[in-house]
């Protein structure tokens, strides 16, 4: 009793620390972490390689046709101790984090056929339970029956400040105002998108981590997950 592997859906604003938390939680529970943002980024890289998205212009017919030539998989890398995304057999974990991909991903993530294909893959991955999946539409569209749904957020200023520190640590020169504008713009795009916009599932537990340390947040989530597991028949 209480041993059934549950699914945990983590949605929320960008730079709210979803992936860091989702990874730690998966490790602690011995669950599989699925980074759905990486899948949308890899689909974008695929479209860039096929030149169906060029300079901010999308050829939707081309993107749709290209989906038949896109094979995504996650493979565990013992060196990084993470599972890393592969596009047609090639590890693209680093390449998908480039600015170029980041700037184009919202154009590809709003193509319905792209979402349809990726959601189907994500649903298959969650079929057996034991998954911590993060994204924007996980609790609302991908696994609406997830036993635990988290909606993670922090105020835009806190998120911009964290993102600024991250960029600075990578040696990138940007101003706080630039980063804040980008955070607000991404919030707007994510929430106003016609297909699968970012929205809080009614039964999600809202975690605003503006005033929480990583450790406080982690302990809170682990306890929550363990309680949900106990509640399972
Ligand atoms: O979480 P991230 O920044 O790596 O996500 C990259 C992009 O993909 C971002 O623009 C939002 C989009 N995305 C989405 O539309 N649906 C998801 N489930 C995950 C990400």
Q: For residue 11, is it within any domain?
A: yes
Mean of the pLDDT values across residues 23-46? 97
Residue 179 belongs to domain with CATH number: 3.40.50.300
Is residue 230 assigned to a domain? no
| C-alpha dihedral sign at 36, 205, 159, 132 | negative
The HSE-up count of residue 60 (CA atoms within 13 Å, CB side) is 8
Radius of gyration of the chain from its Cα atoms, rounded to whole angstroms:
18
pLDDT of residue 3: 64
pLDDT tens sequence across 89-132: 999 999 998 888 988 998 999 999 999 999 999 999 999 999 99
106 CB under 6 A from ligand 1?
A: yes
Segment 125-140 mean pLDDT? 96
In a domain, 64, yes or no: yes
Dist. CA 149 → ligand 1 center (Å): 17
pLDDT in tens, 61-86: 999 999 999 999 999 999 988 899 99
List, as one string, the DSSP characters of 164-209.
HHHHHHTT----HHHHHHHHHHHHHHHHH-SSS-----TTPEEEE-
Q: Tell me, yes or no, whether 232 lies in a domain.
A: no
Domain total of the chain: 1
pTM, 2 dp: 0.93
Angstrom distance (rounded) from CA 206 to CA 10: 10
Residue with the smallest CA separation from ligand 1 atom 14 is 136
Please give the number of the atom of ligand 1 that sits closest to the Cα of 122: 18
Gap between the Cα atoms of 31 and 215, Å rounded: 19
Rounded average pLDDT over 166-174 = 87
Ligand 1 center from residue 3 Cα (angstroms)? 31
146 in any annotated domain: yes
Please report, for residues 8, 71, 208, the alpha-carbon distance to residue 223 in angstroms, rounded to integers and kept in the order given: 13, 36, 16
* Atom number of ligand 1 nearest to Cα 109: 15
Residues 85/96, Cβ–Cβ less than 8 Å: yes
pLDDT at 1: 47
Which domain range does residue 132 map to?
A: 7-225
Ligand 1 pocket test target in 34, 119, 135, 144 with most atoms within 8 Å of CB:
135
């Amino acid at each position: 009793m209480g041993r059934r592997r549950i699914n945990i859906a983590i949605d929320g604003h960008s730079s709210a620390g979803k992936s860091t938390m989702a990874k730690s939680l998966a490790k602690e529970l011995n669950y599989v972490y699925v980074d759905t943002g990486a899948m949308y980024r890899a689909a974008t890289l695929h479209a860039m390689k096929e030149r169906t998205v060029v300079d901010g212009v999308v050829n939707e017919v081309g993107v749709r046709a290209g989906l038949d030539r896109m094979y995504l998989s996650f493979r565990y890398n013992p060196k990084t101790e993470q599972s890393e995304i592969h596009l047609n057999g090639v590890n693209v974990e680093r390449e998908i984090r480039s600015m170029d991909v980041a700037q184009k991903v919202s154009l590809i993530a709003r193509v319905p056929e792209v979402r349809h294909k990726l959601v189907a893959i994500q649903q298959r991955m969650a079929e057996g339970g034991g998954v911590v999946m993060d994204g924007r539409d996980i609790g609302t569209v991908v696994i609406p029956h997830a036993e635990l749904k988290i909606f993670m957020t922090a105020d835009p200023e806190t998120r911009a400040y964290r993102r600024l520190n991250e960029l600075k640590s990578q040696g990138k020169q940007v101003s706080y105002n630039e980063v804040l504008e980008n955070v607000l713009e991404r919030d707007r795009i994510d929430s106003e998108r016609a297909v699968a916009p970012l929205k809080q599932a009614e039964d999600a537990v809202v975690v605003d981590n503006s005033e929480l340390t990583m450790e406080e947040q982690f302990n809170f989530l682990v306890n929550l997950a363990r309680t949900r597991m106990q509640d399972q028949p």
